[in-house]
Structure formats: structure tokens, C-alpha cells
Amino acid sequence: MLLPKVRTPESRRMITLEVRRTERLTPTFTNVTLAGPELKHLTPMGFDQGVRLFFPREGQRELRMPSRSNGTWMAELLLLPKSRRPWVRNFTVRRARPESDEVDIEFALHGDTPAADWALRARPGDPAGIYDLGMTYLPPADAEWQLLVGDESAVPAILAILEDAPASLVAEVFLEVPGTADFRADITAPEGVRVHWLARDGENRPGRAALEAVRAVRAVGTVGTVGTVKEPPLRPGRSYTWVAGESGLATGLRRHLVNDRGVPKSDIAFFGYWRHGHSSPG
């Protein structure tokens, strides 16, 4: 059976918030806490729940949110002249604290880009908006273990998944980040989870280290090969894979698992969060 790809809330609307505080976590990661009474319109789902994040362009004093919450909001946005149009990018709700009307969003900084620049210049009181995208981490009940893989853009989602996971979770987790100073200590995970942090060699395209690390794993507890498959599965039993990050990592890992390890396509959820050399639309 094919896995569902996304679970969205029954109703959702544009939510306008403001920055409450920011905190630099490591050289690459900075956290921005957004807050406001309109957060009562967000249904926290946990795990990898994503949002469209709206924030002003440099020089804009106000945030102009789309008025529509249906499928036409992007067209509405694109009709605005750039001088009045906000930036829109995708981010993960790293943590929601409904009791204090707060959500945390962790930005992986990567140079001079709209989202990274905004996260660095955000100050308490600055406006920002969100629109719920729902969640994509939807493991089947009979998966015996999980493979979770991501680059820095997916670290917030995977850390949230591990925090929200049941104590029984068994998982191999591969997280690629720019340097060893980005290996995160603030990680809470069930006992059966093994986290492999990987520092990228600066020469390498993002995602390659994670892909190579998974490729290099010899199977735990399996003997021989299955049919024409070159490598056995990483572990025995039905697996669920969730991979996100640079699109080459997502598609490359899926190809490796399917072609080389015989993993059914239906047990893999893969998401290109961004594309090397390409800006997000909006």
C-alpha cells in the first residue's frame, strides 16, 4: 500500500505573528521564536510539521500577508509589486508552545539569502506570518525500524521527530551539517535511536556525505543478498525511511535504497527541501 504523502489540518488560515526573541545555537543554526494570539489558529501536529513563512523584504516596514487562505494565495502574492510583496519560504515548526502562544523556527544559515538574512536581522517585535503545510512523517504502524536522513535544512524536522517519537522507536539517523561545531547537543531521542552526525567536507556538494555514509553501511544482522540486490537492507524487518534535504540527497538515497538494497518504494518518504543553485519560488 502506498504511504500517504502529507497530512494537512482540516482548516488553516494565514497567521500573523511577531518575533519574540532569537538565539544563535551553533555557527550554522539560529532559532527565531515567533509569538502572538493568532497562534490559536494553528493546530500543532509535532513531528515535521511545516509552514510557509512570510517575512518582509529588506527595507519594508510592514508585512503584507495574503488575504486568502485557499489555493490562490500565491497568485495573489505574485500580483503584488515587489516593493509590497513579502518573501515566502518553507520552514519547520521546531517546537510549538501553545500555552505561551509561541513557535520556534530554526534556520540553517547558508550565506547571503533572503531567509538567512532575515533570521540574522530579526529583532523582537518584527512581523512574520505563517501558513500551515501539515506533516509528511507518516510511518506505517508495522514498520520495525526507521531510517531518518537529512542535511542541515532537515535537522530541525528530524530533531522534532525524535523528540515526539514513541519510546519504542528503533532508528538509524544520519545528519549532515557544515562542521563539527554544528553537531547538536540539544537532542532528545528514544534509547533505540542511533544518531550519526556527519561534518561536510567543504568541497563536497551538500547531501553527499549523508548519502555516502548510508551507502557505506554494511547490514546489521543480515546475511547474504536478496535476489539481484547488491547490498542487503541496513537492518532486518520492514523499514520506513524519511529523507529530506538538498534534492540530490533525497532522490539519490531513494534510488540507492530501491536499486541496491531492495527497499520497496512505498516504504520511502523523500523530500527535496531545496535545490543547489536554485532559489525557492516566492
Ligand X SMILES: Cc1cc2nc3c(=O)[nH]c(=O)nc-3n(C[C@H](O)[C@H](O)[C@H](O)COP(=O)(O)OP(=O)(O)OC[C@H]3O[C@@H](n4cnc5c(N)ncnc54)[C@H](O)[C@@H]3O)c2cc1C
Which residues of the chain form contacts with ligand X (CB under 6 A)? 50, 89-92, 106-108, 110, 113-116, 133, 152-153, 156-157, 206, 273-280
- Of the candidates 205, 206, 199, 204, the one whose C-alpha atom is nearest the C-alpha of residue 245 is 206
Q: 97 is written with which cell numbers?
A: 508552545
The single residue listed with the C-alpha cell 530501491 is: 258
Least separation in angstroms between residue 178's CB and ligand X is 8
Residue 29, number of CB atoms within 10 A of its CB:
22
Beta carbon nearer to ligand X, 236 or 248: 248
**In this complex, which beta carbon is closest to ligand X, that of residue 7 or of residue 276?**
276
Instruction: Name the residue type at position 177.
Output: V
Shortest distance, position 270 Cβ to ligand X, whole Å: 12
To the nearest 10 degrees (0 to 180), the angle between helices 247-261 and 208-216 is 20
Q: How far is the CB of 223 from ligand X (least distance, A)?
A: 38
When the beta carbons of 63 and 115 are compared against ligand X, the nearer one is 115
What minimum distance in Å lies between the beta carbon of 36 and ligand X?
A: 19
Instruction: Give the pairing type, strands 239-246 and 193-199.
Output: unpaired
Q: Nearest-CA neighbor of 3 among 273, 245, 269, 238?
A: 269
Which residue, chain included where needed, has cell 542511533?
194
Please give the full DSSP string across 77-133, using - where no structure is assigned.
HHHS-TTTPPEEEEEE--EEEGGGTEEEEEEE--SS-HHHHHHHH--TT-EEEEEEE
Q: How far is the CB of 144 from ligand X (least distance, A)?
A: 27
Query: Strands of 127-134's sheet, edge to edge?
Result: 87-92, 50-55, 127-134, 15-24, 29-35, 102-108, 95-97
Measured from the CB of residue 77, what is the shortest distance to ligand X in angstroms? 15
DSSP summary character for residue 164: H
Q: Could you tell me the smallest distance in angstroms from the CB atom of residue 125 to ligand X? A: 22
Of 77 and 115, the one with the shorter C-beta distance to ligand X is 115
Question: In the beta sheet, which residues pair with residue 148?
Answer: 173, 242
- Please say which residue, 85 or 235, places its beta carbon nearer to ligand X: 85
* Nearer CB in complex with ligand X: 58/191: 58
Select 106 or 172, whichever has its Cβ closest to ligand X.
Answer: 106
Q: List beta partners, residue 96.
A: 103
Instruction: State the amino acid at position 94 in one-letter form.
Output: R
68 vs 110, beta carbon nearer ligand X = 110
Distance between start and end Cα atoms, the chain: 35
- Nearest approach, Cβ of 68 to ligand X (angstroms)? 21
